[in-house]
């Protein structure tokens, strides 16, 4: 039986999902897509999971699309028809990115090595990105004649502004993790030997927080970026209305009054 292409492990309420094609730097085939999407759906459906960590096995986080995969690789035979890349994108990447951005729990990208092409976009689509100091981010698309995909064109300018987004996307240079943190592309860069402990501690902390509020914050920031100020005020009011009815709000306020740690349970 062949090795699973994703490795799934649990530590209390934190589920870690590792891409597992290390010899190909965890680049995506259709089969890896299927297994990752299934793992994310399973985490979303499991009420005991309160935070997901996404990482890569081996020395890379993810090198994006497997460029040798017959689904997308150009056929070298003379006269062969070019492939319609939008088919693979619609089939695999769109559902994956929509799933990631709509997870009912926070998602931490634990970037252990290079994140290139769609691999970079997937990391950046997570809620918080913690990267090892030796890791890097590469908008590899322009080098093979493509545009950033998997949400890259949406994410990059929102994260770092148009000037930096264009520099990264046009040139496709390797951006070291420390520089990525400095320009605001990611949350933190940490020493390599502290990556797992840092990312898991962050995930455990998020898992102990009010999940519905965290997910609403993600959605509100995305919505706020596309609305006017008054629209954002109204959206915030609607969210506070919903969250104010939830148990976690009652618990948070009671815990504050009683000078104890809260025990959040909603999901
Ligand atoms: O096509 C569509 O559906 C459209 C969607 C596109 C989405 C995308 O993600 S497009 C961008 C695709 N990714 C890339 O262009 C990145 C290609 N990889 C690299 O540039 C480099 O490998 C890295 C900079 C990521 C790492 O460099 P390095 O020197 O550390 O490693 P390496 O020696 O290049 O790679 C190690 C092995 O992984 C090597 O295999 P080998 O020679 O040991 O058998 C290499 O071929 C393989 N590998 C790395 N990236 C990919 C890959 N194999 C297939 N696809 C890859 N993307």
Q: What is the pLDDT along the chain (267 residues), one digit of tens a residue?
A: 788 999 999 999 999 999 999 999 999 999 999 999 999 999 999 999 999 999 999 999 999 999 999 999 999 899 999 999 999 999 999 999 999 999 999 999 999 999 999 999 999 999 999 999 999 999 999 999 999 999 999 999 999 999 999 999 999 999 999 999 999 999 999 999 999 999 999 999 999 999 999 999 999 999 998 899 999 999 999 999 999 999 999 999 999 999 999 999 998
Q: Please state, in angstroms and rounded to a whole number, the distance separating the CA atoms of residues 112 and 206.
A: 20
Tokens of 12: 């209390």
Atom of ligand 1 nearest to the CA of 146: 10
Domain ranges of the chain: 6-207, 211-258
pTM recorded for the entire structure? 0.97
Mapped onto helix, strand or coil, the DSSP state of residue 75 is coil
Can you give the pLDDT at residue 1? 72
Can you give the pLDDT at residue 247? 97
Can you give the pLDDT at residue 2? 84
Atom of ligand 1 nearest to the CA of 118: 9
25 CA distance to ligand 1 middle (Å): 7
Q: With CA atoms as reference, report the closest residue to 216 among 195, 237, 200.
A: 237
Contacts (Cβ under 8 Å, ≥6 apart) of 123: 54, 61, 62, 109, 111, 115, 129, 131, 137, 186
- Integer angstrom CA distances of residue 33 from 28, 67, 145, 151, 251: 6, 14, 23, 16, 39
Task: List all residues whose CB is within 6 A of at least one atom of ligand 1.
Answer: 24-25, 27, 63-68, 72, 85, 88-89, 114, 116-118, 138, 140-141, 144, 146, 149
Can you give the pLDDT at residue 223? 94
CATH class of 6-207: alpha beta
């Amino acid at each position: 039986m062949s090795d699973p292409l994703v490795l799934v492990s649990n530590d209390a309420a934190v589920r870690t999902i590792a891409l597992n094609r290390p010899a190909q730097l965890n680049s995506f085939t259709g089969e890896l897509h299927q297994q990752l999407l299934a793992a994310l759906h399973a985490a979303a459906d499991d009420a005991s999971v309160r935070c997901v960590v996404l990482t890569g096995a081996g020395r890379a986080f993810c090198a994006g699309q497997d460029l040798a995969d017959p689904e997308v690789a150009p056929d070298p035979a003379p006269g062969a028809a070019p492939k319609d890349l939008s088919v693979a994108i619609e089939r695999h990447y769109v559902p994956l990115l929509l799933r990631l951005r709509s997870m009912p729990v926070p998602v931490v990208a634990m970037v252990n090595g290079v994140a290139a092409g769609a691999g970079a976009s997937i990391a950046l689509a997570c809620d918080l990105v913690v990267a090892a100091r030796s890791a890097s981010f590469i908008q590899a698309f322009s080098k093979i004649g493509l545009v950033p995909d998997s949400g890259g064109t949406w994410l990059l300018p929102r994260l770092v502004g148009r000037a930096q987004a264009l520099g990264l996307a046009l040139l496709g240079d390797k951006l070291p993790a420390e520089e990525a943190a400095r320009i605001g592309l990611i949350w933190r860069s940490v020493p390599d030997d502290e990556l797992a402990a840092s990312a898991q501690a962050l995930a455990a902390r998020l898992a102990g927080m009010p999940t519905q509020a965290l997910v609403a914050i993600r959605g509100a920031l995305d919505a706020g970026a596309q609305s006017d100020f008054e629209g954002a005020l109204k959206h915030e009011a609607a969210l506070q209305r919903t969250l104010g009815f939830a148990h976690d709000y009652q618990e948070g306020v009671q815990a504050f009054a009683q000078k104890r740690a809260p025990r959040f349970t909603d999901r």
